Copies of this chain bind each other. A is one copy, B any other.
Amino acid sequence: MVIFASLLTVITQGFMEKNKPTVMVDIAIFTVFEDKLKILLIKRGSEPFKDSWALPGGALNTVTDNSLEEAAMRELVEETGVENQYLEQLCTYGGPDRDPRDWTLSVTYFALVAADEVTLRAGTDTMEAKWHTLTQDKVEVSLAFDHERIVCEAISRLRAKLDYTDIAVHLLPKEFTLSELQRVYEIIMQEKLNKSSFRMRVARADIVAPINGKMRTGSNRPAQLYQFVKHEGDRMFFPRSIAWAQERKK
């Protein structure tokens, strides 16, 4: 009986090994321009979900990919043409019904790119890549698979991290003013922030440095240009969180 049971186990495991899930790597790539948070989507050229929009991604290939991060970075560079961008693992989703073809597992990432450095991959015969505006955390088009949920999760993470880290600098060009940085925070947080508080916090966090003598000119007082200063762990911890403070207002 014991032998029979263990045999069953082996058989089951045998089937299981054969029935591995298909593993995908999908990325939510964000940028900010036109005063809006944007996400990069790909129009699907084939079934399932033909003509729907989806997150850039692809199947993991164990022969060519040496890590998940590498697979994600490859996809990111392929789509945006930009290397060394901010990339962070998000969540992993799995289930039998995510894709009608198979039990699939998606390891999702989220990436931040500066709009001015991106050159979208030329639209091929079947695939079209396009920035979509996020309004109330949603795009206007319907998304393939469970990608809508992934987008929500990605925005939620982005907003959470914005509150206690410096990652917003990755959305800006190499040189930027503090007002521009604050504007990015406001666009993503969907809240107006206090100028002096914001500046004090940014100064304390020590993540930007003025570029001596360089100013952004216009028909008003010129603004000091800053650049991002790399930090080990590149985190800036705010002593109080912006989100909490705003929570208190209600």
Checking B3, B60, B103, B248 against A62 with a beta-carbon cut-off of 8 angstroms, the contacting residue is B103
How near does chain B come to A110, taking the closest CB pair, in angstroms? Answer: 14
- Does A237 sit within 8 A of B, measured CB to CB? yes
Closest residue of chain B to A67, judged by CB? B95
Cβ-neighbour of A66 out of B3, B13, B63, B96 (below 8 A) = B96
Q: Are B63 and A15 in contact (CB under 8 A)?
A: yes
Distance, CA A105 to CA B66, complexed state (A)? 11
Copies in the complex: 2
B16 near A62: Cβ-Cβ < 8 Å: yes
Which DSSP category, helix, strand, loop or mixed, fits chain A's interface? Answer: mixed
CB of A150, distance to nearest CB on chain B (Å)? 13
Contacting residue for A92 out of B10, B92, B243, CB 8 A: B92
Question: A7 touching B15 by the CB < 8 A rule?
Answer: no
A177 at the interface (CB under 8 A from B): no
Count chain A residues whose beta carbon lies closer than 8 angstroms to a beta carbon of B: 46
A14-B11, A96-B62, A239-B245 given; A23·B23 CB < 8 A: yes
Within 8 A of B (CB), among A227-250: 237-241, 243-245, 247-248
Whether B237 and A243, one on each chain, are in contact in the complex, defined by CB atoms closer than 8 angstroms, is yes
> Which A residues from 1 to 51 make CB contacts under 8 A with B?
3-4, 7, 10-23
Spell out A's residues near B (CB within 8 Å). Answer: 3-4, 7, 10-23, 59-63, 66-68, 89, 91-96, 103, 105, 107, 164, 237-241, 243-245, 247-248
Name 27 A/B residue pairs within 8 A (Cβ), A-sorted: A3-B7, A10-B17, A11-B18, A14-B17, A14-B19, A15-B17, A16-B61, A16-B63, A17-B20, A17-B59, A18-B20, A19-B62, A19-B63, A20-B23, A21-B23, A21-B60, A23-B94, A60-B105, A62-B96, A62-B103, A66-B96, A67-B95, A68-B93, A105-B105, A237-B241, A237-B243, A239-B245
Shortest 4 CB-CB distances between A and B: which pairs?
Answer: A14-B17, A62-B103, A14-B18, A68-B94
